[in-house]
Amino acid sequence: MTETLTLDKPRSPRRPAARRSNFELYSWLFMRLSGLALVVLVLGHLFIMNIVDGGVHRIDFAFVAGRWSSPFWQFWDLLMLWLAQLHGGNGLRTIIDDYARKDTTRFWLKIMLYASMVVILVLGTLVIFTFDPTIA
């Protein structure tokens, strides 16, 4: 076959040997389990914030301070933050793997994704644990 007949070949003919890693298995499992947990956590959160007791109109600094004085709600919000961030991040990782055509694009998109995940996780965790109800 001559060079002029070379058509777009999106597939490479060789593939590397299996890496014997269970990472994809665990991330697949994590998506299912965190998804189930998030159904309860997020719907519960939306119910408390928007429907119960006057809903969104009663939310102010004092309301948030009151909730976060309880370790239970601290733990709820922390769990929701981490699960949602990792669940969404893992989903985006899969989408990047699917749709990025070039290895360099894939690499930089993933760097951006992981960086944004770290920023939001660190910031959120910091706020939940260092929240000071007396500054108002």
**Residues whose CB is less than 8 angstroms from the CB of residue 73 and which lie 6 or more positions away in sequence, other chains included:** 67
107 is a site residue for other proteins (CB under 8 A) = no
Torsion of CA 31, 36, 39, 41, to 10 degrees: -90
Which stretch in 11-19, 68-76, 112-120, 128-136 sits in contact with other proteins by CB under 8 A? 11-19
| Identity of the residue, 48 or 109, whose beta carbon is nearer to other proteins in the bound complex | 109
Residues in the chain: 136
**Residues whose CB is less than 8 angstroms from the CB of residue 74 and which lie 6 or more positions away in sequence, other chains included:** 68, 128, 129
Residues 15 to 34 in contact with other proteins, rule: CB under 8 A: 15, 18-22, 24-25, 27-29
Per the CB < 8 A criterion, the answer to whether 74 and 128 are in contact is yes
Q: How far is the CB of 5 from other proteins (least distance, A)?
A: 5
99 is a site residue for other proteins (CB under 8 A) = yes
Which stretch in 67-75, 97-105, 117-125, 126-134 sits in contact with other proteins by CB under 8 A? 97-105
The structure tokens 């189930």 sit at 36
9 is a site residue for other proteins (CB under 8 A) = yes
Residues that bind other proteins (CB under 8 A): 4-5, 7-15, 18-22, 24-25, 27-29, 94, 97-99
